[in-house]
Chain A
């Protein structure tokens, strides 16, 4: 870990302004990912701006019938919120499928969106990794890639986004609210928040320098049956090989988003139109053009079968 400066921010706008003018600054909230990465010197911020004291820890109803979740709402609190459990059960299920109770107590809503890939080559500073060190190459391509992405990959990177919560938020069409260093705010559709690796896999998302997430809003509830089916090698405390977030209506229509498949939560709206025809039809569209490796080709049939299990359960 490199030595770093530490400042406690006094307001969201101040935090953003300070981050923009301080070279090598990073925000810290729960620290459940950042601290690990700092110990390995994968992240080497010269300056940490602690946002924990900002009053962004409330869940409020919005005027259009949705929910506004403060950036600092802890995962445990979000998953346990009565309104979330009642109206957005897929979100609760996704959150409790991730990490451990201790980590969820600490991890925040905004921080969870920002967690970085778990590609083992990203985690080993001796290995080339375009995400960790742009231009150094990708050791995962041609290496051990069982956990890694099968679609939306590039010649520079085949990493996956590791989280669960964001898969549900993508399904729910959440909006990420931010404040920029100049004090202005903006709203980013979750679909536009995480990015594919392309030639710049070191950039995980579309936040600008210094921009701070203040909240995530959910539109009004969708109704229907909610599912988060996470598939992994052990029963708990493991990242998804494949996960399926779905809301299915009585008539068989619905939405589906996948985790563990790509560099971002994977949702193809065109595939959803095929849901009434079954998992195979939807998966065919969702994963058209997939580029799996030898190690992770199983994820494609696995995703289809997991979706089939969800649809079967939805039918009751």
Chain B
């Protein structure tokens, strides 16, 4: 099915199942421990041996010698895989560094060996017996020091590296009110609950790989490419994923080494990355240095807006696209954005939840707060004044929907924004200084081609098969809701099977494109199945209604199941997209409001209340969408207050590489959270009229927290995370 004209009325609009806050249908499996994760596939790969990954001890250089003899002789050891004996490996299309290093080492903790043994403990103990000699090379580990060498990267996911409209420099120089400020965001680790994990089994020349991955079709391609196999000899299965946040968009070393280990050992092998390896072995959100310049008229109209960002990556890598939102969020005739990329020999950077917008808004939305302060304007009013209903870089492109102002106004009203003190440091409760902050939320909506197969059996059960993944987001449930709505059956007669590369390729989970794209694919397959049912039952009317397990036209009503009496009906289709996303700018909008308390003595920050108002098209399931948004808000608190991969600039690695050192919020950090979804449908996105929302919930939160801190105590910190050591020098004496 091709989606190239805006949607009109369709069966989804009935909203009998879609749009309801249904409990997740996979919930009972998860709460009873029966949802099988990649490392626990005893059911399908019995007798698996255990693989343990050894990471490189240097960040850059060469292995000059590797002595495996002691490890090979250790109890239980079955095989050891290294670059020397692994055979030819080709780097995956989505990888920047090789997944098995040696003799060249590209980054710290790059995998250099897999030890396979009868037990996990034996494999781990033997890995420490591998003696490795290195020749340490000189690396570049300091973004600040490499800024001058940074260049404009080639066009990638985030569009062109540069954009210019009008005469930014001139307009900024002549603006009566100006801000020129520098902001920094640190490297972040995804820190998902389930580590990267895979179980591999060879069935002759066929590789079966149970793995924890967000993008099955990308993954199948890259496993095949890396191992030199035809794609049809690789089957990936990832029915349950314990969190990804972008860290599992790509095939990582657990999958490749499990496959190689299973081949070497002649039996199934499972590999899970140990927690202390994950920060440096896998991908991370790269640190940024950002310069923002905003010029306005005296009454607050933006006349010039400039946003430049610097980030680093290994050779061949890409930039953190932190200026993306600035191309679209606010009006202003004269504009400049640029992303510059330096070469760093730290582990490879890549996508983490809301790449680009998350760190970009952490900077831009502080800048907007600072500008409002300079103008003496309310932060909501300043943003509202500079709203735009068209792409500010291309005025002939309207936004398909843009309710940013509504989000801010509703949020301000519900949150009690009017009670915010204009002057910082004005409200004190005991030892606590209280402040409120807000930020706009913005994240583009992306649609991707997505396929599904739908089956109807003689009992009326509808089964959906797609390689789409559920990374904790609620995909199982919204796909079931979509199929139930389309076929006119109750939710419990729908079976959803996900994450298997033998199923039709989907858009996968990432960039908040999963929900709308994958359900649109299911819509397409269901539309085809409806046609087959109609034909099988001998209806010829165009007015056939699928409802309550029946198919009806005029006075005739037949049980849906009857259509499959003569055998199962199967339909497979995908949703393809025309140029609506070019004609219309499809984005999601929101507003975050935060109240914090800052300890007047210690400068500890505690968040007290949070509210997100989101305008993100049709909300397919308000319960799972709310869970996505409150989880994202939690992640936003982490990025505001604590998350920071500390770089050792001498040795070139992230020092705090476990969950004791890399702090993310705990329950005690997360107070009352509210989420409001505006009632919105966007007919330009798909027949579902939905958009993404899971990343919108993160975008802007960090700045809202930072702005609240400033309002509470008067200290402006432009260097994330906003930890107490950065606040203390600006705090008044405490006696």
Contact = CB atoms under 8 A, between A and B. Distances in A.
B554 to A, nearest CB: 64
A39 B124 contact: yes
Contacts of B57: 126
A309 B660 contact: no
* Main SS at interface, chain A: loop
B417 interface: no
B642 A233 contact: yes
A231 B734 CA distance: 15
Given A39-B124, A127-B651, A235 B669 contact: yes
Contact of A305 (B124, B125, B602, B666): B602
B667 interface: yes
A36 to B, nearest CB: 9
A306 B724 CA distance: 12
Given A39-B124, A144-B646, A298 B651 contact: no
A308 B735 contact: yes
A139 B646 CA distance: 14
A126 B112 CA distance: 14
Contact of B734 (A146, A239, A309): A309
B641 A231 contact: no
A124 B276 contact: yes
A123 B602 CA distance: 28
B668 A308 contact: no
B634 to A, nearest CB: 12
B661 interface: yes
Contacts of B669: 234-236
A178 B530 CA distance: 80
Contact of B128 (A41, A121, A298, A302): A41
A40 interface: yes
B426 interface: no
Interface string A122-149: 0111110000000000010011101000
Interface string B300-328: 00000000000000000000000000000
Given A3-B125, A40-B276, A231-B604, A142 B728 contact: no
A143 B725 CA distance: 17
B723 A233 contact: yes
Interface in B659-682: 660-661, 663, 665-669
A252 interface: no
A25 B137 CA distance: 40
Contacts of A125: 128
Contacts of A127: 651
B138 interface: no
B84 interface: no
Nearest to A40: B276
B651 A139 contact: yes
B728 A308 contact: no
A166 interface: no
Nearest to B108: A126
A306 B601 contact: yes
B648 A144 contact: yes
Nearest to A121: B655
B396 to A, nearest CB: 48
Interface in A273-288: 278-279
A281 B647 CA distance: 36
Contacts of A236: 666-669
Contacts of B660: 118, 123, 239
A238 B643 CA distance: 13
Contacts of A124: 276, 655, 657
A308 B655 contact: no
A302 B728 contact: yes
Contacts of B663: 233-234, 238
Contacts of B650: 142-143
Contact of B725 (A139, A144, A235, A302): A302
Contact of B606 (A139, A235, A312): A235
A224 interface: no
A236 B663 CA distance: 10
B658 interface: yes
B656 interface: yes
Contacts of B667: 236
Nearest to A128: B651
A120 B601 contact: no
17 contacts: A2-B125, A39-B124, A121-B655, A124-B655, A125-B128, A143-B651, A144-B647, A231-B724, A234-B663, A234-B668, A235-B606, A236-B667, A236-B669, A237-B668, A302-B602, A305-B603, A309-B734
Given A144-B656, A239-B660, 16 more contacts: A118-B660, A124-B655, A126-B57, A143-B651, A231-B602, A232-B604, A234-B642, A234-B663, A235-B606, A235-B666, A235-B669, A302-B724, A305-B602, A306-B602, A309-B601, A309-B734
Interface of A: 1-3, 39-41, 118, 120-121, 123-127, 139, 142-144, 146, 229, 231-239, 241-242, 278-279, 298, 301-302, 305-306, 308-309, 312
The 8 A-B pairs of least Cβ separation, nearest first, read A309-B601, A298-B725, A235-B668, A126-B57, A236-B668, A144-B646, A144-B655, A305-B601
